[in-house]
Structure 1
């Protein structure tokens, strides 16, 4: 949720940074449909069908990162995508090596006031996590808007989305002329 809110704020900042919505609309996005497909599949296994067998839910969750990875690879020339890719890779690899769940620190979960849920969770406190420092180790505290846990990968994704929106909303500088 916080990624979407910060992306919306970046869009709203376009006029303040000298950008143009029209210029942003000129970005050539390849295979755009992969990203909404990955998002819909994530929503299905995390929120809509929480009682799926854990192995199936975890496999679909990891597959959504593969779909997003293909999308990012195809659009790697777009300014900001490299940073988004680094964040997605940090999250995706950590999720993959932890059986489909991004490990969360107990401190972050408690600080955000989140409840532990049975069955498959996309982020949760794991007994012996691999790469725990890449998991959800940061928190927006309970009582604040958008209280939740987040990872360094999420921070990189948000930074990449901001760069993508702001940098691609600006008119390219004319090429220097040889004299």
Structure 2
């Protein structure tokens, strides 16, 4: 939930400077069903602990779908940064049996109670690429206390780049978000 909240803040951040993140919000994305499906599947898998035995494999597949979406939309400023973060998380999850390894100190600082349910992030013995796992903590008693990874940071930075790159001053017309570079705008 922390990363989702930070993503929403990153998208909205140009508004603080009186700018509208027009190109990000108005763009005609290629194959948007991939990203919306991946997000919906992650919510079902993680928040509702659904699909018990298949959860690790489906978790990895959500990253495959997200990476495909980002590749199809790689011309969007920030998309490749988001893709690097998603690849970092997805690869680490795949190499650790469907779970992003977490640093025990970060889990403790965030006040996360390791349960028996499927966790997208958990302390893993003999983790592969542990430094790419959830090594940082947004600690308790802060709201949305949780752990996060280098990949998560890259995802948020990429979303902010995308939001700011095509932002326009409020009250001005936005650039045509679906024109390629060097193409004259439509009259």
Q: Normalised by the shorter chain, which TM-score bucket? A: 0.7 to 0.9
Contact 1:27 1:168 in 2 (8 A): no
What TM-score, normalized by structure 1, do the two folds share? 0.87
In the TM superposition, what is the alpha-carbon distance from 1:107 to its structure 2 partner? 0.3
The residue that corresponds to 1:57 in the other structure is 55
Count of aligned residue pairs for this structure pair = 172
Give unpaired runs (5+ residues) of structure 2: 169-173, 176-180, 183-187
Give unpaired runs (5+ residues) of structure 1: none
The DSSP-based 3-state class of the residue aligned with 1:149 is: strand
Counterpart mapping for 1:19-168 below 5 A: 19-50=19-50, 52-53=52-53, 56-168=54-166
Contact 1:135 1:150 in 2 (8 A): yes
What TM-score, normalized by structure 2, do the two folds share? 0.84
The DSSP-based 3-state class of the residue aligned with 1:139 is: strand
Alpha carbon RMSD of aligned pairs, Å? 2.0
- Relative distance call for 1:42 and 1:7 in structure 2 (3 A) is closer
In the TM superposition, what is the alpha-carbon distance from 1:6 to its structure 2 partner? 2.3
Contact 2:10 2:156 in 1 (8 A): no
In the TM superposition, what is the alpha-carbon distance from 1:84 to its structure 2 partner? 0.2
- Relative distance call for 1:28 and 1:141 in structure 2 (3 A) is same
In the TM superposition, what is the alpha-carbon distance from 1:52 to its structure 2 partner? 1.1
